[in-house]
């Protein structure tokens, strides 16, 4: 009975983590990233330079946080799955605790490094364009216009 309850509890945890990981993975699609970023950040269009103006660092940090959420869920799932095979090998609790802390710090460092490296080479962090926002029907919060365009408006 105890084995069943243990397996059930681990299975529930893995299932929950997998469901959240799926949602997290879908939120990494470029269109979804742009929609969520534009809900909390202002993007304007400079018609003189034909370029979008936005906080590029905030965008990279936003994407990094989304990716790290997904990676952390993968770690949680992996940990639960490894917990199934756990055997009490007699190590002292203090040694186990220190080892877990060291491994956790190491994995966090490696995850941030690898995710940052991967994101720097993928299209998800590429510069935003007005064409892309138009394709996804996303708003531009403001726009610079030339004197000629202003004069044309008031004719």
Write out pLDDT tens, residues 108-140.
Answer: 788 888 888 988 888 877 888 888 888 888 777
**Residue-level pLDDT at 151:** 82
CA distance 24 to 142: 30
Contact 40, 137 (CB under 8 A): no
The answer, yes or no, to whether residue 12 has pLDDT greater than 80, is no
Q: Which residues contact 26 (CB under 8 A, 6 or more apart)?
A: 32
As beta bridge partners, residue 45 has 52, 143
**Residue-level pLDDT at 59:** 92
The answer, yes or no, to whether residue 27 has pLDDT greater than 80, is yes
CA distance 142 to 23: 31
The answer, yes or no, to whether residue 95 has pLDDT greater than 70, is no
**Residue-level pLDDT at 58:** 92
pTM of the model: 0.62
**Residue-level pLDDT at 136:** 80
CA nearest 33: which of 68, 57, 67? 67
**Residue-level pLDDT at 7:** 64
Sign of CA dihedral 99, 103, 104, 106: positive
């Amino acid at each position: 009975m105890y084995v069943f309850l243990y397996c059930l509890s681990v299975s529930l945890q893995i299932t929950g983590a997998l469901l959240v990981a799926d949602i997290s993975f879908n939120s990494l699609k470029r269109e979804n990233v742009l929609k969520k970023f534009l809900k909390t950040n202002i993007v304007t269009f400079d018609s003189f330079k034909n370029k979008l103006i936005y906080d590029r660092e905030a965008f990279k940090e936003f994407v990094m946080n989304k990716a790290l959420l997904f990676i952390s869920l993968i770690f949680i799932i992996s940990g639960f799955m490894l917990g199934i095979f756990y055997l009490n090998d007699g190590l002292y609790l203090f040694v186990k605790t220190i080892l877990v802390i060291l491994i956790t710090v190491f994995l966090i460092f490696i995850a941030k490094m690898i995710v940052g490296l991967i994101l720097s080479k993928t299209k998800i962090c590429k510069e935003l364009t007005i064409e892309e926002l138009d394709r996804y029907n996303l708003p531009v919060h403001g726009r610079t216009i030339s004197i000629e365009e202003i004069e044309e408006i008031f004719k």
